[in-house]
Amino acid sequence: MAALDGLPPLRDVIQRHGLDARKALGQNFLLDLNLTQKIARTAGPIENHTVIEVGPGPGGLTRAILALGAKRVIAIERDARCLPALAEVSAHYPGRLTVIEGDALKTDFEALAPGEPVRIIANLPYNVGTQLLVNWLLPKTWPPFWESLTLMFQREVGLRIVAEENDDHYGRLGVLCGWRTRAHMAFDVPPQAFTPPPKVTSSVVHLEPIADPLPCDVASLERVTQAAFGQRRKMLRQSVKSLGGEALLARAEIDPQRRAETLSVEEFVRLANAL
């Protein structure tokens, strides 16, 4: 199938550059440009934005983001084998694609496009996806440097990100995301959409920052969620015992017989502030 952007089909690109997928780098490539465009469109308008992409690989999602008109794309890729393929994309869109060879976990994202409106879009390597998300949720200042995050995760992780109270998937990640963002599941992507197919279904999740989240110290929120969800089946009087137990719960006006899973984000914030 000829590509819509005039560049060679991704299957040819992968073959020509010998980009056999490496499991250790979480490489599951998307070759369907309709699907990559659907992911890019989920981010919202990008014409005036710098888009930061993690793990462009052979460039399928990168091409979709550029074809949809992103002002600029900065892509961070760890696998040097992908750089020649990405250089071809860069040549096709002069001045709009900057590729940085490096580890996203060691990248200072805030310094990449200071003062510019930024959206982050990525089909993330599964082994580093959650850590990157947490880093983006805990930047030096809030509101953050990004306007949105549109990210592919394993469906299980996606469910944890968007989970609210009284949901089996609700936990520390759901509280953190619910405190600072509005997060929703955009759509699922079946294993066979990837080359090679992963074992499980994936989901695209979209998050936008809440401008003024409830005031709360991050470290305190992490301490209470860690304790509460560390023993999620137990009553709070037991699970938060080491943090003050019933006295702490009384200060936060939370019934000690409740379980972690039933507390709203607002109640977790109250608990953290009562520490």
CB of 191 vs ligand SAM, minimal distance in Å:
12
Residue whose CB is less far from ligand SAM, 29 or 268 = 29
CB contact at 8 A, 57 and 19:
yes
CB of 79 vs ligand SAM, minimal distance in Å:
4
CA distance 102 to 54: 10
CB of 85 vs ligand SAM, minimal distance in Å:
10
CA distance 217 to 197: 41
CB of 129 vs ligand SAM, minimal distance in Å:
9
CB of 59 vs ligand SAM, minimal distance in Å:
7
User: Using N-to-C axis directions, what is the helix angle for 218-230 and 265-274, rounded to 10°?
Assistant: 110
CA distance 29 to 163: 27
Residue whose CB is less far from ligand SAM, 24 or 211 = 24
Residue whose CB is less far from ligand SAM, 90 or 123 = 123
CB contact at 8 A, 232 and 240:
no
Residue whose CB is less far from ligand SAM, 26 or 209 = 26
The 10 Å Cβ neighbour count of residue 18 is 9
* Binding interface with ligand SAM (CB under 6 A): 25-30, 54-57, 60-61, 76-79, 82, 103-105, 123, 125, 128
Which residue's Cβ has the minimum distance to ligand SAM?
A: 55
Residue spans of beta strands (DSSP E) within 11-92 = 29-30, 50-54, 72-77
- Asked if residue 20 belongs to a known ligand binding site, the reply is no
**CB environment 200-225: b (16+ within 10 A), e (fewer):** eebbbbbbbbeeeeeebeeebbbbbb
- Asked if residue 34 belongs to a known ligand binding site, the reply is no
Q: At a CB cut-off of 8 Å and minimum separation 6, what does 54 contact? A: 75, 76, 104, 120, 122, 124, 125, 132
- Asked if residue 77 belongs to a known ligand binding site, the reply is yes
CB of 114 vs ligand SAM, minimal distance in Å:
21
**Among candidate residues 112, 120, 136, 103, the one with its CA nearest the CA of residue 52:** 120
- Asked if residue 103 belongs to a known ligand binding site, the reply is yes
Residue whose CB is less far from ligand SAM, 76 or 163 = 76
Residue whose CB is less far from ligand SAM, 198 or 244 = 198
- Asked if residue 55 belongs to a known ligand binding site, the reply is yes
- Binding-site residues for S-adenosyl-L-methionine, in ranges, read 28, 30, 55, 77, 103, 123
